[in-house]
Structure 1
């Protein structure tokens, strides 16, 4: 994917040059050309077949989501251990199909002002730079998908995302319970066995289910029903007692509570303090993620042998998230543009971003997430805000928020990425 990442950046730069040349050719001088490009939304590489290209772009975006979802939900299951072609042929074909669909949508099926192009292009330049250092394919995948989401009504793509993910997971579950794919694979925690359901780890399965639950909740954004709240709650209970994926289960249950709140407050206006409070929660969560491990006092040889006692209890509740970050502080350097590391495990997205992607991207991600919460809260989109809050809590306990298949809420950041006013952000309708 390194070649694709370079090509996309060069193509965006070439498109800007192409825009300027044709704007100058239309007359009006350099100042007039720049003013028009800065303020007028336009397709890249000419305006021919504009409506057809915009419609095709939406189709390509949905197709890219489907291909990407299947490539992860099916090809990254334990089916890869049964059949070599799953990882050797099917997975790379689907990944390339997804990236080509996203790339075509970005370059040929999206209107930009130069202001938006500069904002999105600058962030992509940084993301690509970090990708080259971290070599994290999940990172470049979610970045390109967010760029491709610009100005796309999200309901149909989310329906495709949800349907393809459910279908792929249903196939894996059927193969698992039929005794074909990892029928006896379990995980042990403190003497209790946890089901993996055809995936390599209970938390992998939990994260994928959580992503589908978020997509379902977003699809109900316009009208939350009591049955939606009950369904999400039931999935949360299943995640707690089946795979015992605590982080996914707790966040799913919290989302169910949030949907109840949305149902009860439907039709009510949003208080003035609400957007700022929502945005501030990102800073609070980041502060807890970064500062709490600094209070750790090592009292024994094992990873979780820490003090003081209250912090040790909290660390146990969070399955060593605090002590793992403490260990990372002592074993890893912070690199400005990220790095490759496989150990120690860092199961906190804030700390993971700091070490894997570097402080620049870690700060930008926090700013963009806070901006997304502020903008959607300002527009009164309670379900979107609840989904973002659920992902924020999940990010404290896992690193799967950097996987598009676990984090469809990343698409809600698109408006902030392109520096659009919140009134222009896509609605799910």
Structure 2
């Protein structure tokens, strides 16, 4: 089989796997229960991505790299965490090697947009899901009303809007007029107000402010300082703050007399008890620093909101550090490519993940940045040399 045919076939299989993952993700965002079929779907899409990788033409160096990645993620799964996400994610990104990045991102954007719009529509017409929910969201108000539009939780609602906005920004932001930017911003602010999420509003302002700066200051992509600052914030500050949160998570409840209590409590209150809940959220104190391991174990199943902490807790310190280093590498690649808009997406995602674990998930469909990361990493690791080796 010629290399051109191999590429077309592997890309077709990749799109099939991607479509299945997107449909699963959209259904999971709604109030449809999918627990009985998730595992089977994940196995199916994993098999498809492995098939796509096998069909591709690879040189020796490439096979060695694939083998090392597969072995490491397999060991993490079978011998430590019992979670196969790292293996599935890595195979998905390897299978993305020959895709047309712009086309794939547009495909993810429009499929997600259609799916999320359908969820909202079904809730509005009363077919599936609530338009709003009244409950205690951790703010000592049992009668708090927040809009969800079929997504089950107000934070889930904005998480979807955030993902769509980030994808729109990456695909169309550089060429869109100010009116389009302002309309997108207004829609985000409206959803933040309806969902009553202060955190979402802060993230929204950061993302659009930096995005507009990149859009209208043409030379900012040439400024080295923005890449350095982003590398310091993402993930250095994000990880450092998350580690600190895991370390002090027990203090608000058990050390009221400590001088630092008021400072910690003030931050915890801003984050709606997210730091506090790392310790007191369950009997195992999942998320607190004493539960972190070099490689996580099969008991590490609990969930909580702080995404970077969940990354370390679910998969272990070593895998999480490797992921953090890959994020820094992506920032460096953005610098080499003078790609400031992707930098905005990385910055926004990293800050968002400090307080929300939406993108630390089993669902590949949530991780819209994977194709970008895959192509950029392939290009960085001497893709031209690998092509010469294949030929």
TM-score range, shorter chain: 0.7 to 0.9
CA 306–330 in structure 1, closer or farther in 2 if over 3 Å, else same: farther
- Note closer, same or farther for the CA distance 1:318–1:117 as it changes in structure 2 (3 Å cut): farther
Q: For the structure 1 residues 222 and 106, does the alpha-carbon distance in structure 2 shift closer, same or farther, using more than 3 Å as the test?
A: farther
1:202 equivalenced with 2:154 (yes/no):
yes
Q: CA deviation at 1:260?
A: 0.6
1:46-195 equivalences under 5 Å are: 48-80=1-33, 95=42, 98-109=45-56, 111-132=57-78, 133-136=80-83, 139-183=86-130, 186=133, 187-189=135-137, 190=139, 191=141, 192-195=144-147
Give the structure with higher Rg (CA): 1
Cα 1:64–1:249 change in 2 (3 A) is farther
Change (3 A) 1:76 1:154: same
Name the CA distance, whole Å, in 1 between partners of 2:128 and 2:3.
Answer: 47
Distance 1:87 1:297 in 2: 32
Q: Where in structure 1 are there 5+ consecutive unaligned residues? A: 1-47, 81-85, 425-429
Does the CA-based 8 Å contact 2:73-2:87 persist in structure 1? yes
SS of alignment partner, residue 334 of structure 1: coil
Q: 1:356 to 1:299 in 2, by over 3 A?
A: closer
| TM-score, normalising length: structure 1 | 0.75
Work out whether residues 299 and 306 of structure 1, in 8 Å CA contact, stay in contact via their aligned partners in 2: no
Aligned residue for 1:400, secondary structure, equals coil
Alignment check: 8 A CA contact 1:117 1:418 kept: no
Aligned residues: 368
Give the unaligned 5+ runs of structure 2.
280-284, 385-391
Classify 1:131/1:222 alpha carbon distance in 2 versus 1 (closer, same or farther; 3 Å).
farther
Counterpart of 1:402 in 2: which secondary structure?
A: coil
Compared with structure 1, are the counterparts of its residues 265 and 183 closer, same or farther at alpha carbon in structure 2 (3 Å cutoff)?
Answer: same
What is the CA deviation profile of residues 324-360 of structure 1, one whole-angstrom value per residue up to 9, with x for unaligned ones?
A: 34553266252524444344x4322322122210111
Q: Alpha-carbon deviation of 1:182? A: 2.5
Mapping for residues 17-416 of structure 1, pairs under 5 Å: 48-80=1-33, 95=42, 98-109=45-56, 111-132=57-78, 133-136=80-83, 139-183=86-130, 186=133, 187-189=135-137, 190=139, 191=141, 192-220=144-172, 222-266=174-218, 270-281=222-233, 282-295=235-248, 298-300=251-253, 307-325=260-278, 327=285, 328-329=287-288, 332-343=291-302, 345-403=303-361, 404-415=364-375
8 Å Cα contact 2:128/2:150 also seen in 1: yes
After superposition, the C-alpha distances for 1:232-254 in whole angstroms (9 at most, x for unaligned) are 31232133122234444432332
**Cα shift at 1:421:** 4.5
Alpha-carbon contact 1:142-1:402 (below 8 Å) kept? no
In 2, the alpha carbon distance for the partners of 1:184 and 1:177 equals: 6
1:371–1:416 Cα contact (<8 Å) kept = no
RMSD: 3.2
Alignment partners' CA distance in 1, 2:323 and 2:166: 20
In the TM superposition, what is the alpha-carbon distance from 1:88 to its structure 2 partner? 5.2
CA separation in 1, counterparts of 2:166 and 2:267?
Answer: 27
TM-score of the pair, normalised by structure 2:
0.81
- The Cα shift of 1:92 comes to 6.5
| Structure 2 SS opposite 1:347 | coil
Corresponding residue number in structure 1 for 2:388: none
Q: Given the superposition, is the C-alpha separation of residues 416 and 216 from structure 1 closer, same or farther in structure 2, using an over 3 Å criterion? A: closer
- Partner in structure 2 of residue 41 of structure 1: none
Q: Is the 8 A contact 1:296 1:306 kept in 2?
A: no
Following superposition, the deviation at residue 167 of structure 1 comes to: 1.7
